Structure 1
């Protein structure tokens, strides 16, 4: 299935290339073998984001989880002061923060970053709580509706199942215009797909076969069209790129060479989304891999042995990796979130061997969200009341 079969918002084949910042205790040289030098300290996480900014990545994912590491919003606020160009894809777990105060927090961050803020909407359980999946997505829907009222109107006028508000939006106005920060969203359940189609901007997918990715994209595109919308598609995937294919495969094998499978299971279940439909699908996919853990040419599923969520990597030479990325672009994918182990080392290698050969763009800039001049808001030049 080609892009001609799938309606997307960004028809221009330029792509947004993001890296990943380990705020949640997940950076390793050998999977499952903790290294104190790679702990999710403020210093280490700051080094990762500084490097990605300097090397020309357009975006960086700041995840959220109840694990040793950095609080997402707190870290994003700090990073706003030492980054220059990169956007911060900041994970927000719906229901974790009172929605009007969350909108005010996002407004603060958006102004600090002068529009370099994207939002990753997540709907996993809060730590220690278990809710029905359908209920979690209903909560997420209400939170998104409230945020979008804050960015687009004069009042929060919301009467829902979980929240009821009649408030001014003045304290929560975004720096970004034309709809506020872009909402990136992932999830493969029926409720997740419908929520994204109706309210979000970029549907994030985890590694799959090309055939399955195309099926998912066609379904989401159709759902969005049914409510008069188009969305973009993104892929969250690891990458191992070396000068020869054998060297890349050797690096992949080395990564899991010290992995104890009991430890691996414990690591996977630390994540708050470890029982989600998407995670279970990643496990199922790995079981279909060949003896070297490849699910299709150049897509290696070994990382999923010890990681909840994104479990596969593109593995190959620079030419092979670039060719695979272009196949995804031809399918209609416009946003990529890459990572590798260890994060600093692989960030440099990818930036040297692959990034210069990709035609890149910032999605919020391309879609007119980041204004060319300072917008009039209560925190800039708007009338103080």
Structure 2
């Protein structure tokens, strides 16, 4: 059995290393005057889309199946970026995150089937239902936590129903559909695999019904084992099988010392105000996953070492670039060993990332992936499924 491994596409720009938080690649700059201050005034004709295409091609060349295209208030729209990158790659698969409440399920089915038809079936879903609070209201969505997951379940019920060609009718709490269905040849396109995020009981109930892969952030390994067991137990009760996937950042270098030196240099450049705010981050969030991450933070942070929670696992990545907290740090061999350990715990897929994404796609693809053995002990496992 092989392990599916994806990369990440930084649709919000990125710094050139962990030693800076300012996104000087991909033309997402903080403030109107930052281009001039960075000495980058003028247009050389190389756009942010060109940079994203370089990363996608690098991931494709390095052996990754495809890439996650993030969706946050500060990113480009992943549906649009997927269409752009489709013309720049040949086998690269597009994992599109979206919150179901923001699309009509019939329109989403038609759009996805069209993308499948145009790209030879390279689209996947990352279904996210939102963490609530101010960010959820940014999207104009006041629906409560458990109701959002109920809405997601109905959305996916309809999406699957109309994909078969119809006529399909549905009368739910959030959606009503009469005699809908995709026309031939759209209905003959392959239904996209679903990666599903969420840690609450409501999330697991929805994931167990519809997800092909249950996707989680990296957590302490024992916690992940328990989480995987919970979601598989729920899915087994429905007569379905589900796989598990992990989103994790990587700092891999020829030696462990070099890897931790990179983390230390990044930590030393963190603004003290960012450190002070770190303990308050996600307070009041409805996201169970965010609260699980928050519970791992030390009350006092004086050194990057205070954030090492397990061998080769560092919980300060969001201090360096925002986003996920936990990541793996070590030599190429150590990172591969930790990924193999996660496979033994039940992981069937990974979404990896590293800063900067272009160079690190080559580094991780060429130096780490060939060392990952998976369950079969293959001598040179690549990211193909």
Instruction: Find the counterpart in structure 2 of residue 337 from structure 1.
Output: 351
**Counterpart among 190, 196, 210 of residue 199 in structure 1:** 210
Instruction: Find the counterpart in structure 2 of residue 139 from structure 1.
Output: 151
Residues paired across the two proteins, number: 347
Instruction: Find the counterpart in structure 2 of residue 43 from structure 1.
Output: 50
Q: Residues of 1 paired with 2:219 and 2:205: CA distance?
A: 20
Q: Residues of 2 paired with 1:268 and 1:89: CA distance?
A: 31
Instruction: Find the counterpart in structure 2 of residue 380 from structure 1.
Output: none
TM-score with structure 1 setting the length? 0.83
CA-to-aligned-CA distance 1:267-325 (integer Å, 9 cap, x gap): 99999x96522112112123389944111111111113356652111111111111111
Q: Is the 8 A contact 1:301 1:312 kept in 2?
A: yes
1:318 correspondence with 2:332: yes
**Tell me, what secondary structure is at the counterpart of 1:57?**
coil
Cα distance, 1:28 vs. partner?
Answer: 5.3
Instruction: Find the counterpart in structure 1 of residue 246 from structure 2.
Output: 235
**Counterpart among 71, 75, 81 of residue 77 in structure 2:** 71
Deviant stretches of 4+, over 6 Å: 264-271
Flag the structure with more relative contact order, 1 or 2, with Cα contacts below 8 A and sequence separation at least 6. Answer: 1
Cα distance, 1:46 vs. partner?
Answer: 1.9
**Tell me, what secondary structure is at the counterpart of 1:319?**
helix
Q: Is the 8 A contact 2:67 2:92 kept in 1?
A: yes
Q: 1:148-163 to 2 correspondence within 5 Å?
A: 148-163=160-175
Q: Residues of 2 paired with 1:280 and 1:27: CA distance?
A: 27
Which blocks of at least 5 consecutive residues in structure 2 are unaligned?
29-47, 131-135, 373-380
Cα distance, 1:164 vs. partner?
Answer: 0.3
Distance 1:85 1:37, change over 3 A: same
Q: 1:258-273 to 2 correspondence within 5 Å?
A: 258-263=269-274
Instruction: Find the counterpart in structure 2 of residue 287 from structure 1.
Output: 298
Q: 1:94-105 to 2 correspondence within 5 Å?
A: 94-105=100-111
Q: 1:165-184 to 2 correspondence within 5 Å?
A: 165-171=177-183, 173-174=186-187, 176-177=189-190, 180-184=191-195
Q: Is the 8 A contact 2:96 2:123 kept in 1?
A: yes
Which blocks of at least 5 consecutive residues in structure 1 are unaligned?
1-11, 364-385
CA-to-aligned-CA distance 1:149-171 (integer Å, 9 cap, x gap): 12235223111111101133124
The RMSD of aligned alpha carbons is 2.6
Q: Residues of 2 paired with 1:84 and 1:334: CA distance?
A: 24
Q: Residues of 1 paired with 2:14 and 2:148: CA distance?
A: 25
Cα distance, 1:360 vs. partner?
Answer: 3.5
Distance 1:56 1:352, change over 3 A: same
CA-to-aligned-CA distance 1:76-125 (integer Å, 9 cap, x gap): 11111111112111112111112111111111111111111111111113
**Tell me, what secondary structure is at the counterpart of 2:214?**
strand
